[in-house]
Amino acid sequence: MKQADAWFENYKFRDGESIPRLRIHYATLGTPHRNDQGEIDNAVLVLRWTGADGRALLSPIYMKALFDRGQPLDAHSYYLIFPDSVGHGQSRRPSDGLRAGFPNYGYGDIVDLQHKLVTEMLGIKHLHAILGMSMGGMNAWQWAEAYPDAMDGVMPVVSLPIKVSGRNMLWRRMVINDIRADPDWNSGNYTKPPSGWLRAMKSCEC
């Protein structure tokens, strides 16, 4: 397994805000195979859920179940790429220092940066597949829509190609509102983690 960083200078997000230098951290597992044209043809992009970093899918459990010899994504056959999405893991995050001054970003920006990492930094013109779980599954659906010729197939897991709604949306709104209503919130420039949501979660325990 190899760990590396990709850097993007003066990167502009979809809403027009920009950041002077943006880091996207990623890990790779396996060896790239090149076809007769010299192009990598065995790359698989593996995308994780909200809040996770590279360690989540590179744990012994996932390694044995998915990436070991003879498993569905055998690292002896495929070149696996595990990016830390912007805002996650070791990629650039608001908590690195900009806090509330960090540019607004969404799933579209996450996919844009994944695409730039794959095509510009790693030089891969075509992916064998994309496997995405939860938020990564949403990103996989977006890849299929935005770059339909960029891969042979996508496999979104625990994810549907619909807007977040119902209880999922309600839960997200409750958490967001409780954090922002916390006296320590300070418009996002807090000096310690807001504790209001901890009290709210405790009150919801069954």
Structure tokens at 180: 């922002």
> Considering only CA atoms, which of 169, 195, 170 is closest in space to residue 181?
195
**Is the pLDDT higher at 135 or at 53?**
135
Write the Ramachandran bin of 85: left for phi over 0, alpha for psi from -120 to 50, otherwise beta. beta
Cα separation, 89 vs 139, in Å, equals 17
The lowest-confidence range among 22-26, 181-185, 195-199 is 195-199
pLDDT value, residue 205: 55
Q: What's the pTM?
A: 0.90
Average pLDDT on 149-157 reads 97
CATH architecture of 2-159: 3-Layer(aba) Sandwich (3.40)
The lowest-confidence range among 31-40, 53-62, 133-142, 187-196 is 187-196
pLDDT value, residue 158: 92
Please state the domain extents for the chain: 2-159, 163-206
Scan for tokens 């979660």, then name that residue: 201
